[in-house]
Structure 1
């Protein structure tokens, strides 16, 4: 997984009917855009350091989600 500032991190819920979460990536702290990522969550504005799991994806600027 690789990302850069300004892209979105989307974490899908593993529970049926439960909403996922998304965040703006503020900074990629790993080498060459690798995790961990400093993110700002869209639902509450909280900033946190995230090591994304297999239920997460980066939505790149040049490939909007769903296309």
Structure 2
């Protein structure tokens, strides 16, 4: 089993991130929404807005403002997390 090829440092566009893209393959931008799945299918356990990045390629960890408390925390995304990128009009579209 081999690891995915790393992104080149000069890549300008971040890849789309969906439920299957987690952990090291996850890429985000400030303003994206991060969702953490619950233990039951279809249930969102936690969500928040990514307000800060620690790596220029958009990989974890992230500074996340939690929707329920407004508190900003450092978050290391695990396999139960995924990103939704905002679309025009301020709404979020489910990542593919």
- What is the root-mean-square deviation of aligned Cα atoms in Å? 2.3
Aligned length: 67
Please identify the structure whose Cα radius of gyration is greater.
2
Q: Deviations over 1:1-57 (max 9, x none)?
A: 0000000000011257x6511000001112400111001000011110000100000
- TM-score, scaled to structure 1: 0.83
Give the TM-score, by structure 2 length: 0.60
Which has the larger strand fraction? 1
Give unmatched runs, 5+ long, in structure 2: 1-25
Runs of 4+ in 1 over 3 A off after TM superposition: none
**Counterpart of 1:59?**
84
Query: Which structure ranks higher in relative contact order (CA pairs < 8 Å, sequence separation ≥ 6)?
Result: 1
